Structure 1
Amino acid sequence: MKYRHVVLIVILILIVDQTLKFWIKTHMFMQQEFIIFPNWFRIHFIENEGMAYGLKFGGDFGKILLTTFRLVAVVAGFVYIKKLIREKYSTGLLVCVSLILAGAAGNLIDSMFYGLIFNDSIGYEVAKFMPPGGGYGSFLHGRVVDMLYFPIYEGYLPSWIPFKGGDYFVFFRPVFNVADAAISIGVITILLFQKRFIGKHMAPQQGSTIKADQTA
């Protein structure tokens, strides 16, 4: 796998992620919802200040810190993936790292620029792109747009379940976006197949070391 293939994966995911976010932002008001498949898949527009799946981190200073960390991580990610390619790691690992890199870049774009290019979504008002009065925030203070919602199960838990019995429960509750999904798929796949991804790469190196020792 070559570096241009990594760049292509990242660009394709960014196009899908940003196109969907742009459409959501300019066509839906906050908390508006479209039911795609009843009972398990909805488009539900929300925004979050922080990390993936609506998690938050440390107020205004935390927002700047998180966005800066994302920027550094994306730059470092491109450098790191070049190293993986030079050392001929498996295509599967490179694809997974590309997914993680693309997801981080997708949410980074929101955090860096959306506060500048969109006005706020208040009540039933739909945001405008490049409004005359300026955006709702400054550089690095944009909010991440989320819209994918999969409430596969909604209902009250059986009373016999410890601690949570009788409570109203939703699975899967978090609302997320394409970038979040790319990161999750990349991370989970690496965790599941790390021996295959890393082991096949390390075995030839160990074999070469043994042969070199025998020759010496």
Structure 2
Amino acid sequence: MDLTEIFCAIDDYCTQQKINWNMKILSPVVRKRNRKFQLSLSEVATIVVCFHLSHYREFKNYYLIEIKKNLKSEFPKAVSYNRFVELMPNALSVIASFLSNSCLGKCSGISFIDSTILKVCDNRRIHSHKVFKDTAQRGKSSTGWFYGFKLHLIVNDQGEILSFMITPGNVDDRNSKVIFPLVKNIHDKLFGDKGYISQSLFESLYEKGIQLITKLKKNMKNK
């Protein structure tokens, strides 16, 4: 999909669901000082999605080079980088809703579960970080400590997303409040890494018709 197709898909969804800047589910950050919005919510969400499809590794460079310069005609009302960062948390909720309702695949009986960290800032800047200060948390991954969120994801054998959830960074991958909503429409085999090793989780999922397959510890039994 190109930029126009992505925008149209997101904008149509926002129109159908009547999602806009004034909805109460959105963060009050964007309503600070009663500012008027120069970018639509659909445009903000589109920019965030397109960044992840680009070759850029840092969003700031992407925004300043692509949006403010190369795509100036497509986004003539693009706000400053700092202002856009304030708007991003609201766009993320729209993207999550859009994916959940429009872009999920079907379970084939072979699924894979994993999580990845979403750092919101360098660890040295945690105390000065403001955008996600009320929701982000410190967490630890295989690469060390980080500050931000976790993306929990299940995909099928075709790589299609089946379910996902974003949590604060300190939430365990095996947390029942994460796992059970994720596997609601999953059946048969579910493959995961060592982070999902848990005898109780294995048994709970097995009762639901799901066989969790991981590298086993010596004291664990497979069925």
TM-score normalized with structure 2 length = 0.20
Higher relative contact order (CA 8 A, sep 6+): 1
Greater CA radius of gyration, 1 or 2?
A: 1
Higher percent of residues as strand: 2
Higher percent of residues as helix: 1
